[in-house]
Amino acid sequence: MIRDITLGQYYPGSSWIHKLDPRVKILATLLYIVALFVIHKFSGFIVAFVALEAVIIISKVPRKFIWRGLKPVLLIIAFTLLINMFMIKGEVLWQMGFLHITREGLRTAAFMGIRLVLLIIGSSMLTLTTRPIGLTDGIEALLSPFKKLGLPAHELAMMMTIALRFIPTLLEETDKIIKAQQARGADFESGNILRRAKALVPILVPLFISAFRIAQDLAMAMEARCYGGSVKRTRMNEMKMGSRDLVAALLFMVFLALIILQRVFMG
Partner 1 sequence: MIEVKNLTHIYSEDLPHQQKALEDVSFTAGDGEFVGIIGHTGSGKSTLLQHLNGLLKPKTGTIIVDGLDITDKKTSMIEVRKKVGLVFQYPEYQLFEETVAKDVAFGPKNLGLSQEEIDERVRQSITAVGLDYDAIKNMSPFELSGGQKRRVAIAGVIAMNPDVLILDEPTAGLNPKAHQDILNLVTGIHGQGNRTVILVSHNMNDIARICDRVLVMDKGRLAMNGTPKEVFAREEELKSMGLALPDAAEITSRLRKAGMNINEICLTIEEAAEEIAKVRK
Residues that bind partner 1 (CB under 8 A): 4, 176-177, 179-187, 201-202, 205-206, 209-210
213/219 Cα distance (integer angstroms): 10
DSSP classification of residue 230: B
- Identity of residue 84: N
Q: Which is nearer to partner 1, 147 or 213 (CB)?
A: 213
Name the minimum Å distance from CB 157 to partner 1: 31
Q: Let me know if 5 is exposed, middle or buried by CB neighbors in 10 A (0-12, 13-18, 19+).
A: exposed
Helix (H/G/I), strand (E/B), else coil: 46: helix
Q: Which is nearer to partner 1, 57 or 180 (CB)?
A: 180
The residues that bridge with 230 in the sheet, in sequence order, are 228
Name the minimum Å distance from CB 4 to partner 1: 8
Q: Which is nearer to partner 1, 4 or 238 (CB)?
A: 4
Name the minimum Å distance from CB 183 to partner 1: 4
Name the minimum Å distance from CB 10 to partner 1: 16
Q: Which is nearer to partner 1, 161 or 210 (CB)?
A: 210
What element of type H or E holds 99?
A: strand 99-102
Name the minimum Å distance from CB 56 to partner 1: 22
Q: How far is CA 94 from the centre of its chain?
A: 38
Q: Which is nearer to partner 1, 165 or 179 (CB)?
A: 179
HSE-up of residue 13 (Cα within 13 Å, Cβ side)? 22
